[in-house]
Amino acid sequence: MELYLFEDLLKARDEPELKSSALRIAEKLGYDYFCYALAYRRDGESDPQYFTLGNYPEVWLDRYFNEGYVNIDPSALHCLNSTLPVIWTHKLFDARKVVDMHHEAGEIGIRGGVCLPIHSPWLNGAGLLGLANGEDTDKAVPHVVDRLGASQLFACYLNEAARKLLLPSDMAFEQTEELTARELECLRWAAKGLQAKQIADRMGISWTVLIKSHSCR
C-alpha cells in the first residue's frame, strides 16, 4: 500500500470525501465493507452515544443497534478492552447467543474480516474499524493476516481524519500533539510489514527500547 492513500484521508474536506477515500483504501486491502464506529458518553448521561462512518448496509446497522448486538458481539466487546486486532473466525462467533447474529451478517455479505480497536487519549470512549468481505469467515483468515499491518495503519489515519473533520466536540477531550517525525517513520515501516526488531534495526535503536520506552517519539 502506498502511503499517499492513507495521507489522502487527512486531506478530505467533508464526510463524503473522507468516506470515498476510506472506501478506496478498503477496496485496495481486499474488503467490500468498512465501518469506523465509536461509542462515547456525554457528561451526565449514562447511555452511550454512537458515531459511525462507512458503507455497511443501513439495514444491518439498524438491526445491529436496535437488537442490541453491540452488547453481545465478541469482536466489539474485545475492542473495548484491548488494543490488539481481532480476526474473525467461526470459533469467535460460536456462542449460542451470537450464532444468529453472525448468520444474519453473512446473509448480506459480511462474513470474513477483522476489527481493529481504537483507543485515543482525546476520546471519551472507545471504538473500532471493522473491515469485511463476503468470503467464508475461516477461509478469509490468511488474507486478513497478510494485510493486517496496512489495516492497522488505515485505522490510525482514519481515526485522526475523523477527529479533525467530523466528530462532535462533546465526545473528545483536549486536542493532542501531532505525531513526531520518528513516530511517522515507525508507521511507514509498519505499513511495509516490518516487525518491531526490523524497525528498530533500521532506526538504529534497540528493539526492546522501541517497545518498552516508546522510542518512536
pLDDT tens digits for range 1-34? 888 899 999 999 999 999 999 999 999 999 999 9
**Model confidence, pTM:** 0.76
Amino acid identity, residue 208? T
Three-class DSSP category at 35: strand
Cell numbers at 4, concatenated: 499517499
Q: What is the per-residue pLDDT for 200?
A: 72
Write the CA distances from 206 to 91, 184, 212, integer angstroms: 38, 18, 10
- Mean pLDDT estimate for the chain: 86
Greater pLDDT, 92 or 197: 92
Per-residue pLDDT tens digits for 61-77: 999 999 999 999 999 99
What is the three-class DSSP state of 32? coil
pLDDT digits (tens, 9 = 90+) for 98-115: 999 999 999 999 999 999
Q: Average the pLDDT over 139-156 and give the result.
A: 96
**pLDDT of 215:** 47
Residue 193 has pLDDT above 90, yes or no: no
What is the pairing mode between strands 112-118 and 49-54?
Answer: unpaired
Q: Is the pLDDT of residue 45 over 60?
A: yes
Contacts from 43-51 at CB under 8 Å and sequence distance 24+? 43/170, 48/125, 49/171, 51/127, 51/166, 51/167, 51/168, 51/171
DSSP-assigned states of every residue in 173-207: -SPPPPPPHHHHHHHHHHHTT--HHHHHHHHTS-H
Are 112 and 137 in contact, with CB atoms under 8 Å apart? yes
